[in-house]
A and B are shown apart, each in its own frame.
Chain A
């Protein structure tokens, strides 16, 4: 199945444009919510061997604050908004109107704020895709986690690896202009994602 996904994706620039549109929409949503202009550093759409996945987040033992969302409907998949803890705390200070350096732990209020941020970002991405294709994609409630990168990724990978040995991902790195905040936005769709009909967007296979 993974070979089909790779082949089909590489041959369709329309998918590339569609996903980049979704990502731009998501980062715009993040900027609006946090009140700072986030910029996309890079967007990589590729197939990654399972063992290399934790390196995307700094290695399997790196501590990560992750906002995890699943989506279902016309297709299924996983979304992870991930930050090193110090960047997550910096975002929380912005969201909660604190002086910089105030937030140092994830209390209930912090988790709620981060969850809403993940919700906005994930929903903006899914809406852009769904609107373009004329399909429905439903996000789950967000879950906020602070743990090793490998442990957090296990949640998505245990499902994806039941279907195939490699992981198809959309990896977006973003930052604010002064680089005081950075983050990763990972989309890990199931194989059915690439089978979504492109006709409503005006494109074709």
Chain B
């Protein structure tokens, strides 16, 4: 799927590396495609029907004030995502979070080493969500395969597909 490509009557908006997509249009499907060590964060307010998808690349940003792409980092992406959703009427306590990605594509990288960016991203995204008191409803993390995920704004359903398994609801 490509950004803006129509699938039936739906419009798919892709969050590229370090980007966020936010929408309250029921025709929109938000997506993160080809996630490896990156993490897709899907957020949805079922009352306001506002959703967001962030494509997180790295765990921590040391200087958020100077950062041009805050969604690139876990610790700043969650803050940006919440602000953008609230602008469209979302309420934080209603937001449902689902996350996918954080794989270790090169299996020979030692687990828990600094080179294991996927694992570091998993920990950083969870820490950032916890800091904002956002619970994770479901997740599909780690492993050693790529993933894609989609958030359907009309229903709030999040789906995930990996290299090794077919599409399923998360």
Contacts and interface: CB of A to CB of B under 8 A. Distances in A.
Contact of B17 (A61, A149, A152, A157): A157
A8 interface: no
Contact of B18 (A50, A52, A68): A50
Contacts of A147: 36, 105, 145-146, 163
Nearest to B38: A154
A161 to B, nearest CB: 5
A153 B57 CA distance: 11
Q: Is the interface of B mostly helix, strand, loop or mixed?
A: loop
Interface in B34-72: 34-38, 57-58, 68-69, 72
B147 to A, nearest CB: 7
B46 to A, nearest CB: 28
Interface string B132-147: 0000000000000111
B69 A153 contact: no
Give the size category of A's interface with B: 20 to 34
7 contacts: A147-B163, A150-B38, A151-B36, A152-B146, A154-B37, A154-B57, A155-B105
A59 interface: yes
A158 B57 contact: yes
B165 to A, nearest CB: 13
B81 interface: no
A80 to B, nearest CB: 12
Contact of A158 (B2, B16, B117): B117
Contacts of B35: 150-151, 154
Nearest to B60: A162
A51 interface: yes
A14 interface: no
A89 B56 CA distance: 33
A50 B105 contact: no
A151 B1 CA distance: 16
B36 A143 contact: no
Given A145-B105, A151-B34, 19 more contacts: A50-B18, A54-B33, A54-B34, A143-B108, A147-B105, A148-B36, A148-B146, A150-B35, A150-B36, A151-B147, A154-B34, A154-B38, A154-B57, A155-B36, A158-B38, A158-B58, A161-B72, A162-B58, A165-B72
Interface in B91-150: 103, 105-106, 108, 117, 145-148
B84 interface: no
A145 B163 contact: no
A157 B36 CA distance: 10
Contacts of B58: 158, 161-162
A143 B106 contact: yes
Interface string B9-47: 000001011110000000000000111111000000000
B31 to A, nearest CB: 9
A158 B37 CA distance: 8
B106 A68 contact: yes
A60 interface: yes
A50 B106 contact: no
